Amino acid sequence: MRLYVDANFASPYALAAYVALVEKSQPFDIEALDLSRRANETQEYAKTSITRRVPTLIDDDFALSESSAICEYLDEVLPGDTRLYPRDPRERARARQVQAWVRSDLMPIREERPTFVVFCGAKRPPLSPAGLAAADKLTAGSLALLDRHGEQICGDWSIADVDLAMMLQRLIVLGDPLPPRLVDYANRQWRRPSVQRWVRHPRPPLVEY
């Protein structure tokens, strides 16, 4: 398998796909695209990815984009002791809900705390009122999710824990206030070996795009 990611290794969506492959113990190659130079917009890449986005997974003659679709595909086609999604249909739906939430909502956090602050040391000013409101929403929602099971949002670990921890890390690294319980949760997810492989990946000098 081959996984296309961004050259800065800062995409939260590429992170999820990368972690999924590692958790499944699946050998894979990495192809890094320089998004600042619009490498994803080339005709060559368009032949590979119909969305022209990263991540894109290549499995033989099958190409698949969008990280949640990639994770679901890998959970279906790859064996292994580690499941990316819960077996229980309600818990599996909850995990997918969390993934959709952090991808489609909380825009002020994503704009004011881009993933470059997490992976590349970028700095940003204090959160705006809109950013603070989004942080409050994230805090309330995350606490409600953890109240259900404790250490993970669906009981056992799932790939949705990585997505939620990624959103929380955007706030943690710049010292934005969060309840200790959420800081502990996010940092515990961050210490997972598959996540640390991504975190420790060599990166070029910061180029924001």
pLDDT in tens, 156-201: 999 999 999 999 999 999 999 999 999 999 999 999 999 999 999 9
Helices (H) and strands (E) in the chain, counts: 10, 4
Residues in contact with 49: Cβ distance below 8 Å, sequence separation at least 6, in sequence order: 4, 40, 56, 63, 65
Assess whether 113 and 155 both reside in one domain. Answer: yes
Q: Position 135: which residue type?
A: A
Assess whether 76 and 95 both reside in one domain. Answer: no
Residue 207, in any domain of the structure: no
Contact between residue 156 and residue 131 where contact means Cβ atoms under 8 Å apart: no
Residues in contact with 136: Cβ distance below 8 Å, sequence separation at least 6, in sequence order: none
pLDDT in tens, 87-144: 999 999 999 999 999 999 999 999 999 999 999 889 999 999 999 999 999 999 999 9
β-strand pairing of 2-6 with 29-33: parallel
Burial class of 79 by CB neighbour count within 10 A (0 to 12, 13 to 18, 19+): exposed
Question: Domain residues for 108?
Answer: 89-192
Assess whether 95 and 181 both reside in one domain. Answer: yes
Q: How many domains is the chain partitioned into structurally?
A: 2
Distances (CA, A) of 130 to 76, 112, 134, 135, 160: 39, 10, 6, 9, 25
